[in-house]
Amino acid sequence: DIQMTQSPSSLSASVGDRVTITCRASQSISRYLNWYQQKPGKAPKLLIYAASSLQNAAPTRFSGSGSETDFTLTISSLQPEDFATYYCQQSYSTPPYTFGQGTKLEIK
């Protein structure tokens, strides 16, 4: 199975900060990497697919990059509504379609 490891597990930042979250796959997954945002008590929402494609409704301050085994999610200028937990997920080839363990972004 492909393991997905995110870092950091938690992060404190301030409104206006630039934030980067990383996701590492245990083997190459090309660019089959998706990012989701989840707020407490809510279902996840897609932000980025194919490593760097912004979902239609997602704000442009979110961006993704990377390929093969190393990926990043960047928020260029944190807004109050961005404090949430972020998950990467691989959609490469055969299942299981694993998620990272999540990165909780908190207000400093």
Partner 1 sequence: QVQLVQSGAEVKKPGASVKVSCKVSGYTLTELSMHWVRQAPGKGLEWMGGFDPEDGEMIYAQKFQGRVTMTEDTSTDTAYMDLSSLRSEDTAVYYCTTRYYYGSGWYFDLWGRGTLVTVSS
Q: Is 71 in the site for partner 1 (CB under 8 A)?
A: no
Q: Pick from 11, 13, 46, 58: which binds partner 1 (CB under 8 A)?
A: 46
What residue spans of the chain are helical by DSSP H?
none
1/70 with CB nearer partner 1: 1
Q: What are phi and psi of 2, to 5 degrees?
A: -85, 125
Task: Extract the tokens encoding 22.
Answer: 């990383």
In single-letter form, the type of residue at position 36 comes to: Y
**Binding interface with partner 1 (CB under 8 A):** 1, 31-32, 34, 36, 38, 43-46, 49-50, 53, 87, 89, 91, 95-102
